[in-house]
Chain A
Amino acid sequence: MSKAEVPSGVSVRFADDVERSLYAKREKVYPREVHGVFAALRVTAVAVLLGLFYGLCWLRWDGEQVLLFDLPQRKFHVFGWTLFPQDFPYLTFMLIIAALSLFLFTALAGRLFCGYACPQTVWTEVFLWIERKLEGDRQKQIKLDKSSWSRRKVFVKGAKHATWIVFSLWTGFTFVGYFTPITELGARLVVFDLGPWETFWGFFYGFATYGNAGWMREQVCIYMCPYARFQSAMFDQDTLVISYDKARGEPRGSRKKTLDHRTAGLGDCIDCTICVQVCPTGIDIREGLQYQCIACAACVDACDQVMERMNYPKGLIRYTTENAVAGAPIRVFRLRVIFYGLILFGLAVALGVSVGLRTPLALDVIRDRNALYRETSQGLVENVYTLKIINMDDASHRFRLSARGIDGVELLMEDATIEVGAGDVRSFPARLRADPHKLQKPSNQVVFALMTTDNPSLKIETEGRFLGPVPAR
């Protein structure tokens, strides 16, 4: 029975039969429901994470959505902060820090992320729950799949897929709600007035949820997840893993509860295969640590219950380290952990400092592309620009602009006062005027300086080009 649940898609097993493996059908995994300490932890993690995903987009902060990656406006609102494309390096920084934290956690505690926090795990958990509610437990699901198509089967399967699809579409809508203000999106949804791309991405993400959590499941972890493949590089003998205690369990075999198995020459494993039945990736943990193991600890919970019923000590399958199993001392602070920790600390400090030193101001200089230059009636050369001022500060400011780089260059602006609100972007037309005799080249570098009148320390400079006639020799 246990053999049937092991997925047969792993390449090395088919070395003798290459052609068949190309068409090797995946055997569906029916994870059995499990209760216990770690299952409760996972349900908590799922509730918190999905609660955040579906709820956060509805919360507001100072009149703005708490978390909104407003792509159409090119502004990110993150907990009262407004980030602009110019702040992209911070985002990159944060992603690098997140990746390094994952490395550190992996070195310490193994694949905690996979078992409790990965979106694939979290959404699959919900889909499995829906499936269980509608189709019944594992045995009923297997029976239903084997049975021929009846009215009941069509109804049950139809209800399951309909529930999955509704849930997926809601997920897709929420996803788009992180890129377009969700209250406005919701208002347009009820009158069927969504933009084509909002509709498209909603369906796209919804479809991805339905496909990944409903159909692909463990195949995402096995075939698509890069982390699953390289996490072993962060492991050492002191990393927390889920392990079957071979010394204690073997030789495995079924027995009567009353039998003194030690004298009968048996280990603690009663070979009930429940650890295999609960496994969402369909592996047998007793075969040793495998890269398909997402460390969800379902087998730990399941085996503990069996051990309890048999009156054996718990922990035949448990969270442990390779060294601990071998009886070696447990070391938490290894060179690897210290190394990851130091880099992480260094990056966090660097990010903090650079955010602290950030000038919340940007000036874009856009030269008018319709004309190279024009000559005024006084014989001066004039270039036309659009100056885009981005005020990333959380207060409104008034600005003063000046230009230098060419002798006697003059900046002319139509607006008497230049004021930009907090987190706002405004464009101002401007002209630069210079004497052609002062130009050394047809294309000259000029510097635009933007100063804040109410805060002299807040200033920025941007380079631009000033075009003129070819200077007469």
Chain B
Amino acid sequence: MIVYRSIPRVQLISAVLWPSFLLAGIATSVFFVFLDPVRLFDYEGEAPLSRMAAYSLGFFLFWLLCVASSAATAYFMRPTGSAVSSDDGSA
């Protein structure tokens, strides 16, 4: 098994940022297909955000969430306590 600490840093960073980016893209598309941001605000009269702004902010929110989840996974993949020595030796 590949252990967290034995992979190159670029790979680790890519593994957190990149799948999150893809998933955020999918989540944003699905979310805004069902929800028109302009309609979300229309009871206020004038929409405070343009659609482009809402899509973009939505995308970054989703990305942030996914990054948080991936980063937490990467963090918890680190071997704990006694596992460190055995994993380091056998990976």
Contact = CB atoms under 8 A, between A and B. Distances in A.
A24 B51 contact: no
Interface stretch (A123-131, A194-202, A232-240): A194-202
- Range for the number of chain A residues in contact with chain B: 20 to 34
Contacts of A14: 6
A26 B6 CA distance: 15
B33 A223 contact: no
B88 A9 contact: no
B61 interface: no
Interface string B5-31: 111111100110011000000000110
Interface in A60-95: 71-72, 74, 85, 88
Given A18-B5, A18-B88, A366-B39, A26 B52 contact: no
B8 A201 contact: no
SS class, residues of chain A in contact with chain B: helix
B8 A24 contact: yes
A200 B56 contact: yes
A21 interface: yes
Interface in B67-91: 88, 90-91
A370 interface: yes
Contacts, number: 71
Contacts of A369: 43
Contacts of A11: 2, 6-8, 11, 91
A22 interface: yes
B52 A9 contact: no
B10 A223 contact: yes
B65 interface: no
B50 A9 contact: no
Given A219-B10, A223-B11, A71 B51 contact: yes
A400 B3 CA distance: 66
B43 to A, nearest CB: 5
A267 B2 CA distance: 37
A26 B8 contact: yes
A224 B14 contact: yes
Contacts of A196: 53
A198 B43 CA distance: 27
A23 interface: yes
Contacts of A74: 36, 51
Given A15-B91, A197-B53, A224-B18, A22 B33 contact: no
A198 B15 CA distance: 28
B33 A88 contact: yes
Contacts of A23: 9
A85 to B, nearest CB: 5
A223 B56 contact: no
Contacts of B36: 74, 85
Nearest to B87: A18
Interface in A1-46: 9, 11-12, 14-15, 18-19, 21-24, 26
Contacts of A24: 8
Contacts of A370: 43
Nearest to A89: B33
A222 B7 CA distance: 12
A82 to B, nearest CB: 16
A198 B51 CA distance: 12
A9 B8 contact: yes
Nearest to A84: B33
Contact of A72 (B7, B10, B52): B52
Interface in A214-228: 219, 222-224, 226
B47 to A, nearest CB: 12
Nearest to A86: B33
Nearest to B59: A201
Contacts of A85: 32-34, 36
Contacts of B30: 88
A223 B11 CA distance: 5
A38 B84 CA distance: 48
B56 A18 contact: no
Contacts of B19: 226
Contacts of B33: 85, 88
Interface in B37-63: 39, 43, 50-53, 55-56
Given A15-B91, A197-B52, 13 more contacts: A9-B10, A11-B2, A11-B6, A14-B6, A15-B6, A18-B91, A21-B5, A21-B6, A74-B51, A85-B32, A85-B33, A198-B52, A200-B56
Interface of B: 2-3, 5-11, 14-15, 18-19, 29-30, 32-34, 36, 39, 43, 50-53, 55-56, 88, 90-91
List the 5 shortest-distance A-B pairs measured between CB atoms, nearest first. Answer: A197-B52, A223-B11, A9-B8, A88-B33, A223-B14
7 contacts: A9-B11, A12-B91, A88-B30, A222-B11, A223-B8, A223-B10, A223-B15
